[in-house]
Chain A
Amino acid sequence: MTTDPHDEHGEILRRALHAEADSVNPAGDGLERIRARIADGRGRRFGLGRFGAARFGLDRFAVNWARPVLAVAAAVVIAALGVTAPQTIDLIQQTVGNNGPSGGGQNNTDGDRTDAQGNPEFPDPASPGSSASGSSSASSPGSPSSTPGLSSCRIPPPAGAVSASPGATDSPAPATTPCPSETPTTAPTSPPVTTPTSPPTSDKPTDTPTQAPSSEPANTTEQGAATTP
């Protein structure tokens, strides 16, 4: 009876391997080591590696909750920036258009007042509208010479911005037209009206004529515009 030399070699190899393997006796604390590694490695499997969450005392649940919360917060911030971007751009354009000799707060107040003017200008024709223009004139004296023209020219941009809303299309056209027309026509028409408003700003004759006419022709054009439709 002959044996296959391959099997015989296999038996020698098997015997040698088992003899070598029998000399290996693993330590008895292997299970404790495994459990310790499992306990220590919970943070490693969920994200930041061995230098991550476990080192900073964050378990996997904190890491799992932190990521979606941060993602939602980032999305909300981006959405808020996207929504407020047009208004922010308008504000920037207004501040740039004002040339900024006066403070930004005044510019903002001017822009707000012009917006506020655009809305009340509709009831103005029915009621005496000079008071609204008087309020604007009261704000203008801070910058005597330059602001009147600027304030009258500032009115269109916000009115144009307001033009997006219905009914505002009438106001910008009359508001813009009186501005250039004011400066030439201020001297003849305005003096009687400006005299009551001027006493606080009595120093400047140039202010008083420009402001008062802005109210009157604006009212007239608005009345005309209001009546035409």
Chain B
Amino acid sequence: MPFRKPGEEGARRTDVTETLVARGTAGAVAVAWDADQAVTALYSANYRSLVRLAAMLVRDAGTAEEVVQDAFVAMHGGWRRLRDPDKALSYLRQSVVNRSRSVLRHRAVVEKYAPKGLPDAPSAEAGAIGELERSAVIDALSRLPARQREALVLRYYADLSEAEIAGAMGISRGAVKSHTARGMTALRNVLEQFS
């Protein structure tokens, strides 16, 4: 079956494709209905993972939800321009990465002029080895440059291929390899403690 949109039948997907290709003759209502249905389907299948991906990038669950919701809204608005529904998830992932970058840039500006707060106190679970490993790795990851952190998160959390990472980050595959290698080299000292 050529279309992999979850929760839909084959005939419905064919209609969606024809509607998207023949957008000049299709009514706006039909296109809007397809966009709504696509949002619903993609939400039920990928919203949680996308929020977690965004949370790995922006290090804040609430902001991650807003980022993903904005990405869904943008996809709904650009649904007419999205000729291939199979690329909707890639579009969402790339949108999440780009919006996470924007959030981090904005946050960097805010933190630059905001007063320094006290560091986060270790939680009660910090005594556990797993929690210690996790917090140490996450802290080390958060200190990496943005591109290296994105490449590592997309590689080791989202389990994407180099081509998919390149598409999501908007860079070449060679750049993905470079960012991944440099990131792992930077994390080596921390990771060796738990190996």
Contacts and interface: CB of A to CB of B under 8 A. Distances in A.
Chief secondary structure at chain A's binding surface: helix
Say which size band chain A's interface belongs to.
Answer: 20 to 34
A16 B72 CA distance: 28
B152 A9 contact: no
A6 B184 contact: yes
Interface residues of B, number: 39
A62 interface: no
Nearest to B39: A34
B97 interface: no
Contacts of B179: none
B91 interface: no
B73 A34 contact: yes
Contacts of B40: 31
A24 B40 CA distance: 21
B188 A26 contact: no
A13 B191 contact: yes
A99 to B, nearest CB: 64
A12 interface: yes
Q: Is the interface of B mostly helix, strand, loop or mixed?
A: helix
A33 interface: yes
B23 to A, nearest CB: 16
B6 to A, nearest CB: 14
Contacts of B44: 31
A192 interface: no
B133 interface: yes
B157 A30 contact: no
A12 B191 contact: yes
Interface in B133-158: 133-134, 137-138, 141, 152-153, 156-157
Interface stretch (B13-21, B46-54, B99-107, B109-117): B46-54
Contact of A41 (B73, B134, B153): B73
B188 A9 contact: yes
Which of A5, A8, A9 neighbours the largest number of chain B CB atoms within 10 Å of its CB? Answer: A9
Interface string A12-27: 1111111111101111
A67 interface: no
Interface stretch (B61-69, B161-169, B170-178): B61-69
Given A12-B194, A20-B134, A34-B73, 4 more contacts: A13-B184, A17-B141, A21-B56, A24-B52
28 contacts: A6-B184, A8-B195, A9-B187, A9-B188, A9-B195, A10-B156, A12-B194, A13-B141, A13-B184, A13-B187, A13-B191, A16-B137, A16-B138, A17-B56, A18-B157, A20-B55, A20-B56, A21-B157, A24-B61, A24-B64, A25-B61, A26-B47, A26-B52, A26-B64, A26-B65, A26-B68, A33-B69, A35-B36
